[in-house]
Amino acid sequence: MTEELKTCELVCSSPGDPRETLHTVRPKDMDGEQPIFSVLSGGVRQQQAGDTTAVTRCGGGGGGNGTTSPAATTSDNESGIFSGECELCVEHESELDWYCGTEQKLICSHCAIVGPCHGHTVTPLATRVTAVRNRLVDVCEKMQLQALRIERFIEQTLTAKEQQLQVSASRAREQVLAQVTAAREALDEEEQRLLEEVQREEERVEQCLLTQKAHWSQAMANLSQTRSRLVHTLTHTPDAQLAISAQEIAERVEEAEGVGEPCDTVQLNMNPGCGDSKLLRGLWATAVLQGPNAYGSSHLKFDERTLSPLLSLSDDLCTLTFLHKKPRQSPPYDPARFDCWPNVLGSLSMSSGTHSWVVDVGQSGAFKVGVCYASLERKGSGNESRLGYNSQSWVLSHYDWDYSFCHAGKKEPLQVIKRPQRIGLLLDWPSQTLLFYEPDSSAVLHSVTHHFSAPLLPACAVTDRSITILH
């Protein structure tokens, strides 16, 4: 049952050769060969011959014909396969020259035939050793190929990526600087233009004030002089002469009446729009909405108390739906409820700070979004309770494919290129500015500056489908 021990040869090229590979050779005698187990365990003697490493040989197993070197007697004693002294089976006192794959241990031939490993998968030791060596050679070859791929990846891919990174980063910096420079130049020009416009408006109003002041100062002096003459005539003219001075007195009175009454005009006020700029307004809105200190009203909901009977409200108080058929039973009376127009107010009262919220209008063909005073009339079908048709409400209205801004019964048509699915509102109380915008692009649809004299509430109306407050 003794098998001739077979071996494999580890052939290596010079360390600098990237094509270094491992080769499996056919089984042959052990003269001049070193098993790969001994090479991997490090328990061998190495002889240097130029760039090639020669490994001393070791023998074992099989018929025991190989010559055993001193180093080989100490290699891998745990497995016993390459021990210089052949191990014997404890039970049969025979050489362990077979391998049981079922129990994964060395056995003798008697164990395989009549012993405990009868019927198991057994292999001659030499065959098992050759298979293990070949497997290790394959593993080493795969490792070496993987190392070559890693080296190629580092030298080619990562190096190229590093160069691309430098180019991309440089291009990105140039783009940022170019955009910032263009924005800065545009802002500088806009700043200069607006400051000049404000200066011209200030000079105009100041000139008007000076003219008015000079005119009315002269008129006041003329009145004072005329009055003094009339008082002198009244107190110092004899009765006989006073009786015949009616014509002179009439002329003096007519002269005084010709002065007229002073009155305030818009020409005496500075035009608030002289400092208005779409560019600055858009940049300001973008900074407020998308900047690091963006504002939002995350807890805004519709106030159910104000809900018109023409509308229904979702359970989360965020979706407003128009009812095509008026419910037969009216809701309980509430002084805060709109009873005729399909309106509802928001739950947030705003009288300071900056607030923004977004309304999803979806496919609704008729709706209004905006703000109003809390004192807005709730009852009746008159304009007093109709959003946008009184002085207490400011809304963006969409009806029959037209968009407009409505306040105090006046409509201002809006040019909307693409129908927005969502409409955002921004109220900046310090600057008294109300702005309507398109959230996806931050494009400003309309803005208004007004002196708001009381707290404002979000206000909405819908007569087609539904609209929803988004958080």
Q: What is the pLDDT of residues 129-140, one digit of tens each?
A: 999 999 999 999
Domain identity same for 357 and 461? yes
Give the angle subtended at the CA of 6 by the CAs of 2 and 7, to the nearest 5°.
Answer: 155
Greatest alpha-carbon span in the chain: 173
- Mean pLDDT value across residues 193-219: 93
Shared domain for 464 and 316, answered yes or no, is yes
- Whose tokens are 């398109």? That residue is 438
Q: What is the pLDDT of residue 420?
A: 93
Nearest-angstrom CA–CA distance, 265 and 269: 7
| DSSP H or E stretch at residue 99 | strand 98-100
Q: Is the pLDDT of residue 83 over 70?
A: no
Q: How confident is the model at residue 45 (pLDDT cuts 50, 70, 90)?
A: very low
- Give the pLDDT confidence score for residue 213 in this predicted structure: 93
Q: State how many domains the chain has.
A: 2
- Residue with the bigger pLDDT between 235 and 403: it is 403
When pLDDT is averaged across residues 213-241 and rounded to a whole number, the result is 87
Distances (CA, A) of 154 to 19, 82, 146, 158: 17, 40, 12, 5
One domain, residues 428 and 352: yes
178 part of a folded domain: yes
The pLDDT assigned to 233 comes to 85
Same-domain pairing of 325 and 222: no
pLDDT band at 235 (very low <50, low <70, confident <90, very high): confident
Query: What are the residues whose beta carbons fall under 8 Å from the beta carbon of 301, sequence distance 6 or more?
Result: 316, 317, 318, 346, 347, 469
pLDDT of residue 261: 85
- 393-413 average pLDDT score: 95
Percent of the chain scoring above 70 in pLDDT:
80
The pLDDT, as a whole number, for residue 78 is 38
Q: Where are the beta strands (DSSP E) in 323-455?
A: 343-345, 354-360, 366-373, 393-399, 402-407, 410-413, 422-428, 433-438, 443-449
**CATH number of the domain where residue 298 is located:** 2.60.120.920
- Mark which of 211, 237, 272 sits at the end of a domain: 272
**61 Rama class: left (phi>0) / alpha (psi -120 to 50) / beta:** left
Contact 324, 330 (CB under 8 A): no
* Statement to judge: residues 337 and 409 lie in one domain: yes
pLDDT attached to residue 293: 60
On whether both 332 and 357 belong to a single domain, the answer is yes
Higher pLDDT, 8 or 101: 101
Q: What is the pLDDT of residue 73?
A: 36
Q: Are 125 and 99 in contact (CB under 8 A)?
A: yes
Residues 344 and 312 in one domain: yes
Q: What is the pLDDT of residue 37?
A: 37
Do residues 346 and 372 both lie within one domain? yes
* Last residue within a domain, chosen from 272, 302, 329: 272
In a domain, residue 28? The reply is no
Are residues 295 and 372 both part of a single domain? yes
Q: Residue 468 CB: number of other CB atoms within 10 A?
A: 19
Same-domain status, 330 and 465: yes
- How does the average pLDDT of the chain come out, rounded? 81
What band does 23 get if pLDDT is binned at 50, 70 and 90?
Answer: very low
Distance in angstroms (rounded) separating the CA atoms of residues 117 and 432: 95
Q: Higher model confidence: residue 412 or residue 227?
A: 412
- Entry pTM: 0.56
Range of the domain at 448: 281-470
pLDDT of residue 296: 65
Q: Could you report the per-residue pLDDT of 287-335, keeping only the tens digit for each?
A: 877 766 666 666 899 999 999 999 999 999 999 999 988 776 788 899 9
Task: Examine the domain organization and report whether 333 and 227 are in the same domain.
Answer: no
Instruction: Say what the alpha-carbon torsion angle 444, 448, 453, 458 is, to the nearest 10 degrees.
Output: -40
How far is 268 from 207, CA to CA, in rounded Å? 9
- More confident site: 456 or 40: 456
Residue 259, pLDDT above cutoff 70 = yes
pLDDT of 7 > 80? The answer is no
Residue written as token pair 């009765």: 239
Same domain, 251 and 286: no
**What distance in Å separates the CA atoms of residue 343 and residue 339, rounded to the nearest whole number?**
9
Residue 53 burial (CB < 10 Å; 0-12/13-18/19+)? middle
- Contacts of residue 464, defined as CB under 8 A and 6 or more positions apart, other chains included, come to 322, 364, 365, 366, 367
Q: For residue 219, is it within any domain?
A: yes
Instruction: Report helix, strand or coil for 15.
Output: coil
Q: Between 123 and 50, name the one with better pLDDT.
A: 123
